[in-house]
Structure 1
Amino acid sequence: MSEENRNENLLPVVRKPTELVPVVLPEKHQRFYDKLREKIETFIRDKGINDSVANFILLAPDLFVLLARLMLDKRVGVQSKALAGVAVAYFITPIDFIPEALVGGFGLVDDVILAVYALRKILVDIDESIVREHWNGEEDLLAVITKVVRSADDLVGKKIVKKLEETLFRKK
């Protein structure tokens, strides 16, 4: 089986959106979310980032809040919480493969990719409805995961994607 076919088999099935349940963020999450989103939107506007890359960068606040919520949910197992914790820590850590301190908001692309790879693994272990309950992004979560996985190599290159996978899954 080719690597592309293997990756296709790992992608989640995209379902038609059902009725969305509005998610209200706790105030401390809302403040963080709003600040991060505002910072990203300012970066995109100031740097003239193209819409395609901008759409990926704008996923960062939604993914961060989703992962933080999963870490706090009692229905989520320890292993999945640990994966969510690694992804949250990667968002927060100033030193990563594409550091925000050097390249600004574009540096969030690797954070988004790592978060999505973590979510793929988490969705294997916990019920999809639990994850969806915590998602407040505008697009369907599984469609977002599929889009990011399919675009990862083009966004950051195969070498960085491989390093992100190794970081998350401890492959050597």
Structure 2
Amino acid sequence: MIPVVLPEKHQRFYDKLREKIESFIKDKGVNDTVASYILLAPDLFVLLARLMLDKRVSVPSKAIAGVAVAYFIAPIDFIPEVLVGGFGLLDDVILAVYALRRILVDVDETIVREHWNGEEDLLGVITKVIKSADDLVGKKIVKKLEETLFRKK
């Protein structure tokens, strides 16, 4: 596997976001389990943004990635960061993972893995987040996230 190198501008954004999250975790004394989920946010965001730009990814999968990226950026979501700090990234992480699960139905796993720069195995991350989603944010929010991502037209 080839290591992913971010352009300097993107690396600075990634580093700043990660530092902000780590600072929140330290300042608030967030337990290690919850912290491990919150720390997935920068890696998932970068992965989804890269998939949106990859020519090998189909338009429908790019649209799903786009919804997840927009959700990360949106100032108001089901658990707004403005009100609860880094805990507000939990719903973003869950939505991102549900998006990736759907994208992996359409896009070859090796393409998705090429863009992943997280420390844990990507499929393991997806499984772990999905199994823990209800406990992290509650069943009602998980249902709303699924409806947001998989809206019927």
Q: TM-score, normalized by length of structure 2?
A: 0.98
Q: CA RMSD in A?
A: 1.0
Question: What runs of 5+ residues in structure 1 fail to find an aligned partner?
Answer: 1-19
- 1:32-111 matches, within 5 Å, as 32-111=13-92
Q: Deviation digits for residues 70-118 of structure 1, max 9, x if unmatched?
A: 0000000000000000000000001000000000000000000000000
Runs (5+) with no aligned partner, structure 2: none
Q: Who is 1:117 aligned against? A: 98
1:127 corresponding residue in structure 2: 108
Q: Larger Cα Rg: Structure 1 or Structure 2?
A: 1
Question: How far apart are 1:28 and its partner, in Å?
Answer: 2.1
The corresponding residue for 2:12 is: 31
Distance in 2 between residues matched to 1:59 and 1:29, nearest whole Å: 16
Contact 1:57 1:105 in 2 (8 A): yes
Distance in 1 (alpha carbons) for counterparts of 2:15 and 2:150: 31
- 2:124 is the counterpart of 1:143: yes
Listed as ranges, the matches of 1:157-168 within 5 Å are: 157-168=138-149
Distance 1:99 1:65 in 2: 20
Cα offset for 1:26? 1.5
Q: How far off is 1:164 after superposition?
A: 0.1
Deviations 1:130-166 (A, max 9, x none): 0000000000000000000000000000000000000
How many equivalent pairs are there? 153
Provide the rounded CA distance (Å) in 1 between the counterparts of 2:75 and 2:37: 19
TM-score when normalising by structure 1: 0.87
Percent of matched pairs sharing the same residue: 87
